[in-house]
Structure 1
Amino acid sequence: MKKGWQRYHTIWTMLFLGWFVSYIDRTATGPIITWMIDNKVSFFSDVPNPHEFGGLIGSLFFAGFMLIQFPAGFLGDKFGYRPVIILCILWSGVATLLTGLTGGLVMFVLLRILLGLGEGVLYSNDRSYIVFNTPAEKVGLGMGVVITGLSVGLTAATIGTPLLLKLAQPVMGKESWRFPFFLLGVISLLVLLLMFKYMRPSPERINSAKPESPGIKEYYGRALIQLCLYSAVFLAIIMGIYFACTQLNFSGVAIAFILTALTPLLILYLYKTKKSDVHPVLMNRNLIFLYLSAIAIMWHLWFYGFWSVAIVKEFGGGALIGAALVASFNGIAGIIGFPLGGVISDRVAHKLNGRRNVLALLTGILTITIFGFAMYLQMGNRHLVVMSVILFVSGLFFFALQPVAHALTAEIAPEGKHGTAFGMWNLIAEIGAVLSPVVSGFLRDSTDSWGAPLYLDGALMGISCLLILAISAHSVPIPFRKKGALPIK
């Protein structure tokens, strides 16, 4: 094994930056909406259930994000992982910039959905590009290091967005909510230039790969056309549901559940029209358990990612900036948790059920910390240092489990179907992201407390742990498996 800095390290770095800008663009929405609710500005000036309505905006973003997941993996396998990743960051930067220019609720919602449709193509292609470029014994580490960008972006947006709002307020007043979108959009486009220049496979990897390998394909134009076509269809569906439900006076929660119903319909459609592509990654019990267990992961991520500042603020976190600092400890934990989880994942990969057992253990401990945090707050405790410590410890286990889940998905999925498998994983997982912001906001408005949403979060994570334990493994050590999915006992 070569020592020193290798080309795959550069690719890890570029993908890290991709996750960073992807998460600052999407995470900023939560603190901005919290600020708009507190200051009763723009379309939050007279909303009767502001947290439910704000959560609905987040859910509409994730509806687009959810629906594009499987097509994203399919597009990457067909046109190349790198082009789709580059288009994702370009799309993200432009959509974020335009959000700052929007003049009303409809355009704000439309651009948030478009952002979700663009950013949704990152996950399946990023994971697949790591597998292609990284030595097999370092795949878990690579996934952990790269996705640390999620944690850094989440933390930067959680802390930085309130600071940007405060900085802009003397000049922009009630229009200050626009400023973070302007700045973050520019940052995304700058990162795009770096990724386009430096994120290429090594010459050795290119020469050793088959010409049809998605790791070296570069069909930008075709990928963009297909991405636009899929996005146009999904945008029309989501906006149509939103307008129809609004006219019928449906609640935000009802709209979110209707949107999640699109997932099984999309899976059925894909199975009917692309059976040869879908069958290997869908008719596998182990993968199905992984997909379903991931719903709780996305629920937790975007319950905290969207509402953590509001939760801490309500339970004694003080002003918006102070609450953001406390809430940020959950995201900061990912800087350690992501790579640590990747290292642990690689070290247990040779053992029977190694990754499965580690994933179940981490998920179980996370469940305990969630309930512990909920009980601490419900008992009336308000110590900010203790809250910060609990959020950090909880985040450590939460972020550590994700690269383990990703590596487990990669080793179970058939060869040549990694993009498709990761796309299906995130398609189903995003059901949690769609429901989490609006259901949690609804429970907050209904009970006048964040206690019920916290307990629900813990219960879902406990169910996820049970699903992971249902995964079975073949007796042959996983690293030596040549091809195909794991047999089922």
Structure 2
Amino acid sequence: METTGGRTAPYPGYRGLWVWLMLGWVASGLDRTITGPVVSYMIDNKVPLFQGVQNPYALGGLVGSLLFAGYALMQFPGGYIGDRFGHRTVVVISIVWTGVATVLSGLATAILGLVALRAITGLGTGMFYSNDRSIITTQTPFEKRSLGMGVVITGLSIGITLAYLTVSPLLGFGSSVFGTGGAWRMPFIVLGVIALLIGLGMHRFFSGQGEPHRFSPAYPSAFGALIGYAVAFFVIIIATYFFAIRAGLPDWGVAVIITVVALALVALVFVRLGGRIGPVLYDRSLFLIYLAFIPILWNLWFFSFWSVSIVSQAAAGSTFLQAALTALFFGLAGIIGYPAGGWLADYTKRRGWGRKGMLIAFTFIQGVLTLAFSVYVAKGGGALAALGALIFFASLFFNALQPMAQALAADLTNPAYLGAMFGMMNLIGEMGAILSPSISGALRDATGNWHAALFLDTALIFCGFILLLFVRETRRTRRAPTEETSRVSGYRTQG
């Protein structure tokens, strides 16, 4: 079994580790982001799967929301099982699972099949985050922890950027193979194969790690534990979907019900595991960070899922390719913002200033820039250059603040509970991702434009800013540990 206990020094080849984990984020970002533009293509071209749909944008958003439902619900189980069987083991399972489900998504023959397979994809992808963050924390030198988190999660922005760059040529290639009505299949098939190859490469890299980080995967045990959760959550998601359809609920109502299910899961964790993982459940500052991640992930997947459509509407007359190229500035900003934010957070930590001050400053600036973008669009602004610039700079600060928040949360957490903590953070935060695509799409259907959805996103960002003001970063957590304190506190090999 993969080692999960004992104190050990950081892994000497941690930069190579960063690269492979970053590739995992590339696969995750590609898969989740490509769904939005592909759904937009399906709606615009009236493909057979969407025939007879009265509110196509709301249903398209629902496809994304159910993906995020699976993603969110598996956050905590994935981290908790990673703490038990090894984080690297669960990371490999996650990426391979994602690849298989994505390929199958491209073979769907009915809208229900696509909905189900996107939910299954989300269940697999959801295992990655809590284990990836835990691996970085335990195998990276402390003074480079936030930088590592920033560099690795840059893969998400690379994936988002590649999704916007490749969606048009992949759809074109798909059109030549499957015809216009089936062109949407090609992005899923190609990106699923890429994810599979990355998962196999991760296994090979981890297997090459020597003592004290030797990798002895526990795939059967971990998969057996994960599949039980996944089947239960899948049944809940699909049952909720059918209940909502039969009850005549609007499509966004499904996302609301799934969010209630996620809240019930949080309550269940408190009741069943409160005594076992109390340090990550009852810490006031950690819980405020968890809540602040709701607007963070709402904003992330609002723009990732709908930015092409937003730009297309604002810049009337632009082509699909022009809108996609403008929207990709959201992803490009992360390639700079993630590592820059991580480096800044480590720098302020080394100086004894802590990470909180930089985090709240960047959150406020992001809110102001998002407000500027919303006002510009609402006033009829449609210049592609202006839209791209506003998206880029708002996203720059937005992406920079994420590794700051993640590293701050890690600073406040005992290493024995890292997987559970990151899982709880994303379980709660992903409620924003579940609701964002469908509610935003429903607002677009109801109003005929994206103005209300943009201003709602802006308001939520400022709510997150207010929550972060009340996080307590103690004098101990503001300072980077000395060599002696690091030796005393110790780190575990968490996979």
TM-score when normalising by structure 2: 0.92
Matched residue, 2:220: 221
Matched residue, 1:479: 480
1:197 aligns with 2:198: no
* Partner SS for 2:446: helix
Conservation of the 8 A alpha-carbon contact between 1:40 and 1:46:
no
Distance 1:345 1:321 in 2: 36
Does the C-alpha gap of structure 1 residues 415 and 6 become closer, same or farther in structure 2, counting only changes over 3 Å?
Answer: closer
Does the C-alpha gap of structure 1 residues 355 and 52 become closer, same or farther in structure 2, counting only changes over 3 Å?
Answer: same
Tell me which amino acid in the other structure corresponds to 1:288: F
- Written as runs of structure 1 = structure 2, the 5 A alignment for 1:342-381 is 342-350=342-350, 354-381=354-381
Displacement after TM superposition at 1:284 (Å): 0.6
1:49 aligns with 2:50: no
- Written as runs of structure 1 = structure 2, the 5 A alignment for 1:59-70 is 59-70=65-76
Displacement after TM superposition at 1:167 (Å): 2.7
Displacement after TM superposition at 1:274 (Å): 1.9
The CA deviation string for residues 351-387 of structure 1, in whole angstroms up to 9 with x for no partner, is 5662111111111000001110011111112111111
* Partner SS for 1:101: coil
Distance 1:67 1:136 in 2: 30
Tell me which amino acid in the other structure corresponds to 1:264: L
Matched residue, 1:175: 182
Distance 1:141 1:352 in 2: 17
Matched residue, 2:324: 324
The CA deviation string for residues 18-45 of structure 1, in whole angstroms up to 9 with x for no partner, is 0001111111110000001111112222
Tell me which amino acid in the other structure corresponds to 1:295: I
The CA deviation string for residues 90-120 of structure 1, in whole angstroms up to 9 with x for no partner, is 1011001111111111111111000000000
Displacement after TM superposition at 1:483 (Å): 5.4
Q: Specify every segment of 5 or more residues in structure 2 that has no aligned partner in the other structure, as ranges.
A: 1-10, 491-495
- Written as runs of structure 1 = structure 2, the 5 A alignment for 1:192-271 is 192-199=199-206, 202-206=209-213, 218-271=217-270
* Partner SS for 1:421: helix
**Deviating more after overlay: 264-273 vs 140-149:** 264-273
- Written as runs of structure 1 = structure 2, the 5 A alignment for 1:54-453 is 54-173=60-179, 174-199=181-206, 202-206=209-213, 218-316=217-315, 318-350=318-350, 354-453=354-453
**Deviating more after overlay: 469-478 vs 246-255:** 469-478
Tell me which amino acid in the other structure corresponds to 1:157: A
Conservation of the 8 A alpha-carbon contact between 1:414 and 1:483:
no
Conservation of the 8 A alpha-carbon contact between 2:96 and 2:200:
no
Conservation of the 8 A alpha-carbon contact between 2:302 and 2:440:
yes
Let me know the Cα RMSD of the aligned residues: 1.7
Distance 2:402 2:356 in 1: 12
Does the C-alpha gap of structure 1 residues 308 and 40 become closer, same or farther in structure 2, counting only changes over 3 Å?
Answer: same
Distance 2:92 2:159 in 1: 18
Distance 2:123 2:13 in 1: 30
Distance 1:444 1:367 in 2: 21
Does the C-alpha gap of structure 1 residues 200 and 346 become closer, same or farther in structure 2, counting only changes over 3 Å?
Answer: farther
Q: Specify every segment of 5 or more residues in structure 1 that has no aligned partner in the other structure, as ranges.
A: 208-215, 485-489
Does the C-alpha gap of structure 1 residues 80 and 299 become closer, same or farther in structure 2, counting only changes over 3 Å?
Answer: same
**Deviating more after overlay: 110-119 vs 352-361:** 352-361
Matched residue, 2:46: 40
Conservation of the 8 A alpha-carbon contact between 2:277 and 2:417:
no
Tell me which amino acid in the other structure corresponds to 2:53: V
Conservation of the 8 A alpha-carbon contact between 1:37 and 1:45:
no
Conservation of the 8 A alpha-carbon contact between 2:354 and 2:479:
no
Conservation of the 8 A alpha-carbon contact between 2:145 and 2:346:
yes
Tell me the percent identity.
42
Distance 2:59 2:264 in 1: 26
Tell me which amino acid in the other structure corresponds to 1:274: L
Displacement after TM superposition at 1:46 (Å): 2.5
The CA deviation string for residues 34-85 of structure 1, in whole angstroms up to 9 with x for no partner, is 0011111122223221111111111111111111111011010000011100
Conservation of the 8 A alpha-carbon contact between 1:19 and 1:149:
yes
Distance 1:217 1:8 in 2: 18
Distance 1:303 1:360 in 2: 21
Tell me which amino acid in the other structure corresponds to 2:191: L
TM-score when normalising by structure 1: 0.94
Displacement after TM superposition at 1:184 (Å): 0.7
Tell me which amino acid in the other structure corresponds to 2:479: I
Displacement after TM superposition at 1:202 (Å): 4.5
Distance 2:466 2:269 in 1: 28
Displacement after TM superposition at 1:201 (Å): 7.5
Tell me which amino acid in the other structure corresponds to 1:126: D
- The count of corresponding residues between Structure 1 and Structure 2 is 472
Tell me which amino acid in the other structure corresponds to 2:118: R
Distance 1:240 1:17 in 2: 34
Distance 2:186 2:164 in 1: 15
Conservation of the 8 A alpha-carbon contact between 1:349 and 1:479:
yes
**Deviating more after overlay: 192-201 vs 368-377:** 192-201
**Deviating more after overlay: 248-257 vs 288-297:** 248-257
The CA deviation string for residues 289-330 of structure 1, in whole angstroms up to 9 with x for no partner, is 000000001000000010000100111161211100000011
Distance 2:101 2:197 in 1: 14
Displacement after TM superposition at 1:200 (Å): 5.0
Displacement after TM superposition at 1:130 (Å): 0.7
**Deviating more after overlay: 165-174 vs 278-287:** 165-174
**Deviating more after overlay: 131-140 vs 169-178:** 169-178
Matched residue, 1:17: 23
Distance 1:433 1:417 in 2: 24
Distance 2:315 2:471 in 1: 41
Conservation of the 8 A alpha-carbon contact between 2:138 and 2:415:
no
Tell me which amino acid in the other structure corresponds to 1:20: V
